[in-house]
Chain A
């Protein structure tokens, strides 16, 4: 269970969520993304390809990060959601708040 941050050639920060994004580890993700934002990152893609499940605290941290990043003139997009995670975003109506791509490559191409 961990988070990895990598930068592509154009400076887009790809955040991989391996395992879970839940109440027990959401602060770790928040801090890592905020550090990258502070270091000048503006465009972020959160990659859920390897994510088991997300709880409402995990959703909450994505909402607050997205807001902060937009305030700094950037954007946070999501990619790689499986059917269950997509359902979770739909039932909480958060699919209306985020730009969601099928794959990280698609999200990167759209930036």
Chain B
């Protein structure tokens, strides 16, 4: 791993509602998955200040997930989405990046993970828990991801996924 990851934190008003946005570009190398996941998950672990400036209050939205949901659901689901985007979307092409955009609102966290690939058809992925597929090494990512968050939506092209975790 060479280039350091840089997280951009922005406050904005979404339809009058306060919201925080986290932006992160991740190089297309699988070694970045772990550090990128930790960088984002750290923003949800109270009482850390948002962008490292001491004394600055944490945005209320960033406390809305329970520690367990941050530790397990958010981290694992984000790792899955990033690994898929880097390996299958960008095919580990170093000239491409994966963009992560996290929108934190009062009621939910939306994590958008977008790659620069051609997209895929998520409905064509077989169920990895079928007896004949259980001993396969790969093919569980999407299933795990769907099991850990409240809602998963792909764009039409299939190169961007939005993971929604509701408050709680």
A contacts, CB < 8 Å to B: 1, 20, 22-25, 52-57, 59-61, 63-64, 67, 84, 87-88, 91-94, 96-97
Contacts and interface: CB of A to CB of B under 8 A. Distances in A.
Q: Is the interface of B mostly helix, strand, loop or mixed?
A: helix
Nearest to B127: A93
Given A20-B34, A23-B83, A88-B76, A60 B140 contact: yes
Given A53-B76, A55-B79, A93-B129, A84 B30 contact: no
A11 to B, nearest CB: 26
Contacts of A59: 140, 144
Interface size class of B (residues with CB under 8 A): 20 to 34
Interface in B134-160: 134-138, 140-141, 143-144, 147
Given A23-B87, A84-B71, A92-B144, A97 B30 contact: no
B79 A23 contact: yes
Interface of B: 30-34, 68, 71-72, 75-76, 79-80, 83, 87, 128-129, 134-138, 140-141, 143-144, 147
Contacts, number: 74
A54 B33 CA distance: 12
Q: Which 4 A-B pairs have the closest CB atoms?
A: A56-B140, A84-B72, A60-B137, A23-B83
